Chains A and B, each alone.
Chain A
């Protein structure tokens, strides 16, 4: 089954404690993205990757890092989380930037 898998689904952490949200896709897609979803703001792109070892900033990259060492994986790293990073995060993959995006089920992160 074609899917995008994110882990964990829920995470509560404290300010400053480094965390990683994993994302894996099994569709051999080249394009992967991370989004955060906040009420009234829709989906805002954090980072995207057009292929292995190629990543670029989206609209709201501050406080986040990503890596793309393998085609299937695109982890999101928060080196020092802060409360304003409390949000619902989605990973997505697609053949390219304009084709159908397949989304993971989301990670609800709370930073206290």
Chain B
């Protein structure tokens, strides 16, 4: 059982469509990070959310941290082929061990 459950695991949509990726848990996190990973590369940090209810925007990407700090979402508006990649959420569990916990990832494909 994953501490952080991401959904969907796979998503293939057409260019210009909107999408939302979810990262859910029953645990509370002091912070939550979103990474993007491209083939042949390591994950790269997109954003960190820290405060319950926080919303951060990165161009066409909107990240939200749940009020209870147990979940997060990533919304992409007007997806572009360059958004294609593996999106990973990672959380610092409040009562957890000294490590980040990663979700299993959402593999996103944007078709031209």
Which size bracket describes the interface of B in this complex? 20 to 34
Contact residues of B between 32 and 48, Cβ < 8 Å to A: 33, 35, 40-45, 48
Are B45 and A100 in contact (CB-based, < 8 A)? yes
Q: How far is the CA of A103 from the CA of B100 in the complex (A)?
A: 13
A97 within 8 A of B: yes
A74 within 8 A of B: no
Are A101 and B99 in contact (CB-based, < 8 A)? no
Are A42 and B100 in contact (CB-based, < 8 A)? no
**Which stretch, A11-19, A43-51, A62-70, touches the partner chain B?**
A43-51
Which size bracket describes the interface of A in this complex? 20 to 34
Q: How far is the CA of A16 from the CA of B105 in the complex (A)?
A: 32
Q: How far is the CB of B32 from chain A (nearest CB, A)?
A: 10
Report whether over half of chain A's contact residues are helix, strand or loop; otherwise say mixed: strand
Q: How far is the CB of A78 from chain B (nearest CB, A)?
A: 20
Contact residues of A between 53 and 97, Cβ < 8 Å to B: 56, 58, 90, 92, 97
Which residue on chain A has the smallest CB distance to residue B104? A42
Interface residues of A (CB under 8 A from B): 4, 33, 35, 40-45, 48, 50, 56, 58, 90, 92, 97-101, 103-106
Interface residues of B (CB under 8 A from A): 2, 6, 9, 30-31, 33, 35, 40-45, 48, 88, 90, 92, 98-100, 102-105
